[in-house]
Amino acid sequence: MLSALLYLQFHSLKNRLLMRFKRLKQPKYLLGGIVGALYFYFYFFRYLFGLHHPGPALPSAASPADLSLYESLGALVLLVVVSVAWLVPRERAALAFTEAEVAILFPAPLSRRGLIHFKLFRSQAAIFFTTLFLLLITSRRGGHAWIHALGLWLILSTLNLHFLASSFARTMLLDRGITTWRRRLAILALLFASAGLVLLWALRTLPHPDFSGFDPSQPLEPQLQTLKSYGHQILVSGPLPWLLFPFRIAVHPYLAPDAPAFLRALLPALLLLALHYIWVIRSNVAFEEASVEASRKIADKVAALRAGNWRAAGKQLKVKRAPFTLRSSGSPAVAFFWKNLISAGQAFTVRTWLIIASAGLIFCFALARTVDTTGLPTLAGMFAGMLLIWSLLVGPQLLRQDLRQDLLHAEILKTYPLPGWQLVLGELLAPAAILSAIQWFLLLLAVAMLSGSSGPGPTGPAIIAPGIGAAFILPMLNLLTLQIPNAAVLLFPAWFRLGKEGAQGIEATGQRIISMFGQLLAFIVALIPAAAAFAIVFFPVRMFLGLNPALLLACLAAAIVLAAEAAAGLLLLGWLFERFDVSVELAP
């Protein structure tokens, strides 16, 4: 059996890598691969292979007392993770198999133990890559890479076994009539009892922290130092280190400063790992039925991810009310707008936004009136302004109710009697409208806060005029910036296929870097004509009509230029969509 499983793992990995390498034959994907490889080399690999020394490592530079503290902290983190694994889940034990594995392995002459071994063996591949990834990150801080690697592997493997064993234990408890809530109460009681014990010891044994010199107008550093010292003593002395003993065993090898210390820490950690393994293997729990159901849900999630529908992948879809009644006559682009608003959810209905905007305005005026002297309105206004600017770049990446979501429905979309530009316009309307609504809200907040503040800088009409101008510009800018990732989807569709076979690995990282810089560059280039139109209108109008009318008219001119650019972009995207060959670009 083991040889069959090794065969499956080896050839699956080999073929997956071969597929990704074959894709690199196309120059557009090769570029992503090169950029990704360079990024990984300069940011990670040169530290890992000792070609660059960033400085002394964390464990070797730390004193034994500090190491003990880090160990306790790490153990505390593990305790939290393990507690969550016992508290939160309520389903029966289900091993995550793919649908193919369920169809082939479950009817095969394999014992339940054999299936568990298969699952454990397969999870080692994921643990290996996770260890490698974490190692790449932590190696930038120097130290013995092999100690970190083995230490991480021990922690992750032990956790993996513990999660499995705990799921079996929970199922056994359910089979014996111990409900989920009774189990949760028992675990919480145990945790609170332990915390109570530690607290009681600390109150009785440790000198109380002295905050008598606390002065709110002075820096808080001495008080923070006192707290830190108090916490340190709790973590390294008294009952807590003993309560955390098993978790400390798991963490200790990772923090070993050198090879001898690592070897001393290795045996207890391996013993802990072995005990977990025995616990898993000896648990006699029926997981098959739950695993079949789990595999179906996983398949549905992967399919949803591949289709770009992250919301469907996250949780059970619910029926959403339509934002408005869609008539059967009128522009077909509105049908896509309507459809994608439904996809975006109830948060983006007109009524919701009117309520939020009204509440926001009332809050702003109240804040401006009551705390005018502290500068808080100015701060709030500036914060809203910063969020607005941030949303210009990040918003198009977060709101994906467009071609990125409908990519795998291209076959249906191609049958619709619509010219390409109209279909693309329809797809972009929803995210553009949502983003514009969010930005108008932030703009309203910023203008309300800044126009009424008594701080330095422009106030009143000098804020309102550019605010109104910005309100014209933002929707056009959003329509333009959204075209960039959608163009990328049409030009490089393989980069946007998520799920197990999709955008992972070095070339995917390279693609994201290229997309990020490409978007920034396109954004800057798109602003140039608009900036020119702004300048052409602003200076002459200012001479004759004054600053505020000049700002307003110049913003309007910029908005018109951006609209023209957006229209040209739509025609280009429409052309790209019309020549998009689904049988080539979306081939598995």
Partner 1 sequence: MIQVEALTKLYGEFVAVNELSFAVQPGEVMGLVGPNGAGKTTTLRCLAGIIPPTRGAIRICGHDLAGAPIPAKRQLAFFTDEPRLFDYLTVQQHLAFTARIYQVANYEPVAAQLLDELELTPKKDALPGELSRGMKQKLVIACGLLHSPNVIYFDEPLTGLDPLGIRRMKDSILKRAQAGAAIIISSHLLHLVEEICSRILILKNGRKIIDGTLDEITRRFSEQTTEANLEEVFFRATGEKEEGSVES
Please give the residue ranges that form the binding site for partner 1 (CB under 8 A).
Answer: 300, 304, 307, 309, 311-312, 316-320, 322, 326-330, 332, 334-335, 338-339, 342-343, 406, 409, 411-412, 414-419, 578-579, 581-584
Nearer to partner 1, 214 or 324 (CB): 324
DSSP SS3 for 457: coil
Closest contact distance (angstroms) between CB of 439 and partner 1 is: 25
Nearer to partner 1, 444 or 582 (CB): 582
Closest contact distance (angstroms) between CB of 329 and partner 1 is: 6
DSSP 409: G
- Among 508, 521, 488, 503, smallest CA distance to 400 is for 488
Closest contact distance (angstroms) between CB of 484 and partner 1 is: 24
Q: What is the C-alpha separation between 405 and 305, in angstroms, rounded?
A: 9
- 237: phi then psi, degrees, rounded to nearest 5: -140, 170
Closest contact distance (angstroms) between CB of 345 and partner 1 is: 9
Closest contact distance (angstroms) between CB of 431 and partner 1 is: 15
DSSP 253: T
Nearer to partner 1, 284 or 328 (CB): 328
User: How far, CA to CA in Å, does 22 sit from each of 26, 283, 491?
Assistant: 8, 44, 18
Closest contact distance (angstroms) between CB of 412 and partner 1 is: 5
Q: How many CB atoms lie within 10 A of CB 81?
A: 13
Nearer to partner 1, 312 or 531 (CB): 312
- 195: phi then psi, degrees, rounded to nearest 5: -65, -40
Q: Which long-range contacts (CB under 8 A, 24 or more apart) does 81-88 make?
A: 81/159, 82/159, 82/162, 82/166, 82/247, 83/187, 83/191, 85/162, 85/163, 85/166, 86/166, 86/170, 86/183, 86/187, 87/184, 87/187, 87/188
- Report the amino acid identity of residue 538: F
Nearer to partner 1, 63 or 325 (CB): 325
* CB-facing half-sphere around the CA of 460: CA atoms within 13 A: 2
Closest contact distance (angstroms) between CB of 354 and partner 1 is: 24
Buried b (16+ CB within 10 A) or exposed e, 428-439: bbbbbbbbbbbb
Q: What is the C-alpha separation between 33 and 17, in angstroms, rounded?
A: 13
Closest contact distance (angstroms) between CB of 315 and partner 1 is: 11
Nearer to partner 1, 88 or 584 (CB): 584
